[in-house]
Structure 1
């Protein structure tokens, strides 16, 4: 008999198993968090002010994720309704040193960070005497170290409590090697490993974990398990000339302390000016950016946040609606259909699937079908980004 085919175990993801994920805008006070949030959300929910703790309760907004494929589909189908992909952004109060022990708004801040799934960490690298810094001067390396340490300290506190509770439960075990005690021992081993990593000064997301360990970590909802993108806020001048004394140091710090995390320079002052001067004037905005020899980073920031959370989307298209449906990378077809309606997942039969690239190349759905480029896919089909799907469901 031929040997059995070995199926590789699919790597589990850190974080909530959901499509409705949120990214928190995080940082020290007065670094540009609320201003960035206002620009992204095109509103004034975030309270911009030149003093610490101007934002106390978190504000949230659904922000569209730019996609040229979606724009093309809207032009092609000219639907009555168009619904792009969205990502929920949350503006969170500024963190200060000692937050892990409750200093400032520390408890509020950390609870709000715990509630989101990913982090946009805004780092101030601009000088402005009119905008005070809670630590007295501008030093992004110090600021990043403070935030990392406070998150690690709070995680260590939570993990220590979990470890103590597991040890207590195991001491009260019957001594017989039952499955429950074995599972508890494995959980304790994972929790201890997490605590040792945190005490060595590393974030949980940078550890090497098995799928079983990831299941335990996800139940803990740890702050340093969340993915982070560093958004470095520059002056308009520095951003346009692509030069700032702090950027190489920030890059070196990330490479050492958070390897693999993304760094995106941007300028709140530039983005605010563009948003005010060229609202509802896309042609004027395009001309201004060409004159400056630069580009807005808002679209790139949203795309990066979406990808950071392992989100992708597929499209449904027709004269009534063109819509992007957000799912996690690696989602199987029935669950992808279920984001439209739970009944679609329960009664899933199959899906007619075509790629966006084929539709664009052939020009119409009928031409894609005639070329044999549309395929019928079943329950084990894994969705990829940018597919166009039509679901068939039973009763």
Structure 2
């Protein structure tokens, strides 16, 4: 009697678009430091004037994801080409109260948020009489609620439109069980948003429900990281009166979101020191200030919020990090390099990064029996060093 096939693990379904071509958007009220933050992260020069709606068209940049493993592989192989993992970021113009009803340039900006996959939510927790505030006073918790309210309103509007357009079909049971389930899932989403007052991502959804929600690209389904812009003095002192209140607000939302305090002023001075005197200038500035830049942590946190990891290919010609979603199987990971690799996938030779560092060379890893051959069901792990075998 032939042995039974091992049961495949249930497919992991995540909120958000599939694939690795995903990006983070920088969102917040006007004049909270969004464009300045984008400028520093990308080292691009975009407008950052002191008035609302300075940024009208989204600005996009790709920034390298900090990874010591990548640097170590480059040192080891000394390749002709070095290609790190990249995070795509988009600077989106400031939202204002009433954006969901079209206030300011609201509808256009909300569509820009829909086009990204995760949100860096920048809020202002510093006083500066020279930088106007669209709400005329500094209160980051109020500002956070304004943004959340606008995102939730837009999602409710989308649910209501879907329900109105499909009500007759649902009542007549047109489309079978799948269409019925789709309609009921959107009804459930509307209840979560309106009656429960929660974001889509705050709820545990079934895999089938997530597949439906992902077709809607809800704004409140997107992962969010809160970037709290404080003064240089408060950043160095590691204290600000608003931070405990912001933490309390974020925890109450029950989404498990990250809060990262930073200072645009500090980061700008840190970057200026590097531009003037190179990496040593930057290190000296941070040492003198007694604080370190938050940019690497912010970029890495955004990358992780998008459920991205990366594997490496390494050789004398090139060391490269290839971004994939958590849970990606070996053939699909191979297809990131070239579609032919996925179509003709045979197997993957996999080295663990720590093993290669310990044994120094690929030959030594192989001789020690630690080069692993993986098949089609192998779930690629962050930091794997891979070589694919495929049929042409």
TM-score with structure 1 setting the length: 0.96
Residues 94 and 164 of structure 1, relative CA distance in 2, 3 Å threshold: same
Match of 1:392 in 2: 389
Match of 1:182 among 174, 177, 181: 177
Structure 1 stretch 327-336 or stretch 1-10: which is displaced more? 1-10
Match of 2:39 in 1: 38
Match of 2:357 in 1: 360
Residues 378 and 7 of structure 1, relative CA distance in 2, 3 Å threshold: closer
| SS of aligned partner of 1:90 | strand
Match of 2:21 in 1: 20
| SS of aligned partner of 1:20 | coil
Corresponding pairs, count = 389
Partner Cα separation in structure 2 for residue 56 and residue 170 of structure 1: 40
Aligned ranges 1:119-198 → 2 under 5 Å: 119-173=119-173, 180-198=175-193
Deviation, 1:341, is 0.5
Q: Give the gaps of 5 or more residues in structure 1.
A: 175-179
Partner Cα separation in structure 2 for residue 274 and residue 223 of structure 1: 33
Deviation, 1:183, is 1.1
Q: Give the gaps of 5 or more residues in structure 2.
A: none
Match of 1:177 in 2: none
Match of 1:206 among 202, 207, 217: 202
1:231 aligns with 2:227: yes
Match of 2:73 in 1: 73
1:266 aligns with 2:262: yes
1:1-60 deviation digits (Å, cap 9, x = unpaired): 99997665233100100101010000000000000000110111x310100000000010
1:219 aligns with 2:219: no
Deviation, 1:171, is 3.7
Contact (CA 8 Å) 1:163, 1:188: kept in 2 or not? Answer: yes
| SS of aligned partner of 1:286 | helix
Match of 2:236 among 231, 237, 240: 240
Structure 1 moving runs of 4+ over 3 Å? 1-8, 171-174
Partner Cα separation in structure 1 for residue 336 and residue 326 of structure 2: 14
Match of 2:105 in 1: 105
1:220-248 deviation digits (Å, cap 9, x = unpaired): 11000000000000100000000100000
1:363-388 deviation digits (Å, cap 9, x = unpaired): 11111111111111111110010000
Match of 2:280 among 283, 306, 317: 283
Partner Cα separation in structure 2 for residue 115 and residue 205 of structure 1: 17
Match of 1:379 in 2: 376
